[in-house]
Amino acid sequence: MKRILPVAVLVAGLLVPAGPADAAVTYPGLAAAFDNAGTSPAGAPASANLDGSGHSLIAEDLTAAGWDRGRVVTVDGAPMRLPAAAPGTPDNVVADGQRIRDRFAGAALSFLVTSTGTATEGTGQLEYAGGHLQDFRLGAPDWFFGPTDRLTVAFPRWNTPAGPSAFSAKLYTVSVPLDPGVPVTAVTLPKTTSGGALHVFSIGTRPAAGPWTATWATATDDGLAAGPWTERTLRMVEHTSRGGSQVRIRLDNAYDPGPLVIGHATIAVRGAGAVPARTPVTLTFGGQREAALPAGGQAVSDPVPFAVPAGADLLVSLYLKGTVTNAPMHSVAVQDMYTTADGTGDHTADVAEFPSAGTFGFWTILSGIDVTGPGGTGTTVAFGDSITDGYLSTPNTNSRWPDFLARRLPGRAVVNEGISGNRILQDAFSGVPDGRTAGVSALARLNHDLISRPGVRTAIVLEGINDINSGASAADVIAGLKEIAAELHAARIRVLAGTLTPIKGCTCSSDAHLAARDEVNAFIRDNGGVFDGWADFDAAIRNPADPEAMLAGYDSGDHLHPGDAGYRAMAAAVPLDRL
């Protein structure tokens, strides 16, 4: 299976001696290299020409999505400043070997890009202050025909020579892992050879994790929560893995076509139900109580001193200012959350008097909680499908296998990035509130949900059974797992693969599916160094008398998902010395 990935991967390691690319024209910053006007006012389409055929982005649509010119938008943890150029003037550079002098230091370099004409990619080069070079691949799908699974933001129209037309125009973000501790002093953009044009709008740096680790996180799937919600407060429950002495939260507006505003956010240790143990603490964003999230953008709160207990419930409350039409969410929380009624306003600081008007069963907008303080080294991310998501575990008891694993690792951080229905190779992304929850493919969400999390040391990947049950071959699943391992290793993350659990008796299984599962598991157990180890989840919960089936005491009843006891047994199968 040959696939061209619109993502950056490290292809040539670190090379010496260093020196600038011989034929590159050097510019003092990206904006100095801009040579293409890609954005026009709706009423002046002729002032820009992104694709060479008279089409362009529409300035008014960018503003409506919160992508105002000159604004800093954070994507996958990397703040990127949008071009400040006026509509109709150059706001991007067509990559053709230009050398950009600047200083970038952090965990990864992020590029805001799109392609016109066809999906386009090429090899660029980074120059480090320490005297070495790093080659990287940079590419993006076509801005109009490209897939939605990897998009950062989609605008509802493009400008044609005749004026606006309802065709979605997409921008993408690509991240390149950096050599830690050494700043980059110049970036040479790729010379592309595919016949299309690769447009670069911005370059930003994802900061190094520093003292921060994630104590709780969740993955945004594609099931947008249907509003409208007006002037209400959501109070959501999150179970910590490790404790800390400082805290910050992460907000994410991924896949939402419009901006939203959080008017006030607080955090508290949970007492019982929606009642905190003590008065919630206000969180700020750049010193401001309010956080405005553009479509596809993120926000991280300022650090505050806060005693976060390990293995305890927190309450994060978000006041939705104005009207929120749709909001991104994690659909299967297996946890009750609390909401006020529309029009009741800001109740984030309430204690016993929180006016709950009902409960709901998903996380929305909130994507992570980070802590600092004494503790173990690095975060372990459980990355998978519904079996990692804890589907059919007992609600409100934190009985997913990553929860049980966290209890085996006191003082260490374990976060759950499972999405029910998720597949390695395909997605069910729709971008509308249609009830589907499978999210974008594991390959497409790898950077957003895993690599960009702070302090990640190890990933435990349990993916592939939904691909098999949907007709994918074992060879394709194995190829996808190899791609995941390669991307994680490029980001200096250890990778453990989980063997696929038994499926005999499930309505979704067949003899061909059973055979494919066995083939994938054989590869995982003897992978030739592709992974840093494996967790034999299959052996942990199968029936010794019938190895294709789950042991009855571990089965939730659908012969696909374990129950609480099965999830506990899976966690016990993780080799702690490989984390």
pLDDT tens by residue, 149-187 = 889 999 999 999 999 999 999 999 999 999 988 999 999
Q: Which of 392, 313, 395 is nearest to 359 (CA)?
A: 395
**pLDDT tens across 271-316, in order?**
999 999 999 999 999 999 999 999 999 999 999 999 999 999 999 9
All domains in the chain, ordered by first residue:
10-206 (no CATH), 212-371 (2.60.120), 376-579 (3.40.50.1110)
Continuous segment of H or E residues that includes residue 402: helix 401-408
Nearest partner of 323 among 276, 258, 410, 389, judged by Cα: 258
Q: What is the pLDDT of residue 148?
A: 84
Supply angle C-alpha 439, 8, 448, rounded to 5: 30
pTM score of the predicted model? 0.94
* Cα distance between residue 21 and residue 303, in whole Å: 41
Residue 241 near residue 226, CB atoms below 8 Å: no
pLDDT at residue 20, as a whole number: 41
Mean pLDDT calculated for residue range 185-198: 92
**Confidence (pLDDT) at 374:** 77
